[in-house]
Amino acid sequence: MTIEEFQRLIERLYFDRDKQRGLAGTFMWFTEEVGELATALREGTRQEIENEFADVFAWLVTLASIQGVEMKDVVRKYTSGCPVCAKTPCACPSKA
């Protein structure tokens, strides 16, 4: 499945409800899912981690759709390498 196909699927499943909830309310759901992903990464099973990644991605796509943003277009930022140094792998000084 492509990113565009996934975005259309999520729109068919949830767009009307999410648009009615609005950007702010939907963003709150997204941040809750990010928190659940954090918990799963710390102490979850592989299945729980995968499920939370799926949920975070679905909510991110929903936010993009509400804003009229196509995810297939925004990923372009990274298709030519690091957006700062333009290298693959990134050759920027580590901030860690």
Q: What is the pLDDT along the chain (96 residues), one digit of tens a residue?
A: 999 999 999 999 999 999 999 999 999 999 999 999 999 999 999 999 999 999 999 999 999 999 999 999 999 999 999 999 999 999 999 876
Q: Does domain 3-78 have CATH number 2.40.30.10?
A: no
82: left (phi over 0), alpha (psi -120 to 50) or beta: beta
Q: What is the domain partition of the chain in residue ranges?
A: 3-78
Mapping DSSP onto H, E and C, the string for 8-58 reads HHHHHHHHHHHHHHHHHHHHHHHHHHHHHHHHHHHHCCHHHHHHHHHHHHH
CA distances from 70 to 32, 54, 75, 89 (A): 23, 18, 9, 26
- Please give the pLDDT value at position 94: 86
- Within 10 Å of residue 18's Cβ, how many Cβ atoms? 20
**pTM, 2 dp:** 0.90
